[in-house]
Chains A and B, each alone.
Chain A
Amino acid sequence: DIQMTQSPSSLPASLGDRVTITCRASQDIGNYLRWFQQKPGKSPRLMIYGATNLAAGVPSRFSGSRSGSDYSLTINSLESEDMAIYYCLQHNEYPLTFGSGTKLEIK
């Protein structure tokens, strides 16, 4: 199975900060990587697909990138509405696997 190692697990940050969350894939997944945002009591929301493509309606302060087997989600100029848990998902190979999540919270 492909392991998605997500870091950090918790990320205290201040409004206006630039933050980066990373997932490292244990095997090649190409660009079959998605990022999701989940707020308490809510369903996940697709933020990034194809590793680097912004989903519809997602603010442009969000971006995705790839460097080898490392995939990153960057949020520029944090806003209060961005506080949530973020997950990556690889859908290159079954079983599909999520990262363990990063809780983004106000410092």
Chain B
Amino acid sequence: EVQLVESGGGLVQPGRSMKLSCAASGFTFSNYGMAWVRQAPTKGLEWVATISYDGSSTYYRDSVKGRFTISRDNAKSTLYLQMNSLRSEDTATYYCTSWFAYWGQGTLVTVSS
């Protein structure tokens, strides 16, 4: 059974940093591109970042470029999202997804003073 389990969310002050993790199991993690998608409270889905199967290519939405870094450790079957200089508008539930076929349960990030 495919499982994606996010962790690392919580309350953080504006301007601070936070790192999300997504532990994958049930499939060959190193074969798949991965992505982070977020959803602000009561809002729609928003793509955040994508990383290729081997980590050689990464893509970001403009609003997070230069602040967020997506990475992966294929030996640990884990996806990461390092978020720096957080803003109130980054408040959302963050989902990891294996190329949009399987999704984690999400982790809530709240940016507030």
Contact = CB atoms under 8 A, between A and B. Distances in A.
Nearest to A94: B59
Contacts, number: 45
A98 B61 CA distance: 12
B80 interface: no
Nearest to A99: B44
A34 interface: yes
A71 B45 CA distance: 18
B47 A96 contact: yes
B103 A101 contact: no
B73 interface: no
A95 B44 contact: no
Interface residues of B, number: 19
A78 interface: no
Nearest to A38: B45
Given A45-B103, A55-B101, A91-B100, A36 B45 contact: yes
Interface of A: 34, 36, 38, 43-46, 49, 55, 87, 89, 91, 94-101
Interface of B: 35, 37, 44-47, 50, 59, 61-62, 95, 97, 100-106
